[in-house]
Chain A
């Protein structure tokens, strides 16, 4: 029973490995992105539109600022969860 389960897991992992390695070979050559129109727009317009020298910061807080709000929310959620998990019980 236990061996059978392990065997299934190994087979699944092997199939996964074959597909993923095959797809990593099919990716565009490393260092030569096949398409970069969105990023080129950001590189050339970030200074003008957001006033920030750091293009990554301009992406994080301006172009994709909403993601950052979500990310801050994730951290807030985790902190709330951790404090809730370690709260002092009444009967402890």
Chain B
């Protein structure tokens, strides 16, 4: 698969704690092709952000234990020296964080912070850097970028800050842009704008985007491919259309149900998955979704492997023999409409 720009092979992240080692990620593997938008979905605690941090090698905690390979354009990131990695960060792989309120240094103007990145990576002079960052701010749809350049983070609204963040992230047009819940902290209208922005970026710079979110709505709008994570594992992945039309894993189904339907009259209340994800370390034997699964049965006491079904993969014993009863029902529901 030569067009894979990022290949992650059974990435495992754990922490030494007083209660012994705890694994946050278990054997996570996936690829990212050039120019595609991969969306990682899951409830908080499922380890999706941990994955992105691992890719960026931003897990600074001395007690962290990380194994597995992360190949970027064939180079194994964990193997790189700190310097090489620094060269990559922000230049090749950039990242956008969830909370634009705290993610920008409060004592520098946003312009300065964007320029800083370009000066470090592209060795631009102060003037050029300023010009470029003003352009960027403009591109991100920030009104009056010239002035905005000299504003401090606390002067700007959340949306504007997030735009600034993105401007910063793409300032050195990276090959991969990891967006960690870029819209969660923002209100709905702004969310939409930010999402459009991201899509434009892909179109313009052809950079691939890893979009981390817990919001199926977001997924359905922009993702090409979807990864569903649950308690540190990828439990299902495939092309967006397939995965949304016929989810193989009961958890995915749950997530699906929790999206308000686009058409028809709204149900009185949206169905939700009972219970909450287990804390790392307190995960049950076998399939960790079992306690919440409406279909769980004897087999589930073992850890299910990823079963393939056409271009779709799911870690559930139900998927062992292709599509299942409830999936047909779902299909009928749809056709009835």
Bound pair: A and B?
A: no
Q: Which residues of B contact A (CB under 8 A)?
A: none
Binding site for B on A (CB under 8 A): none
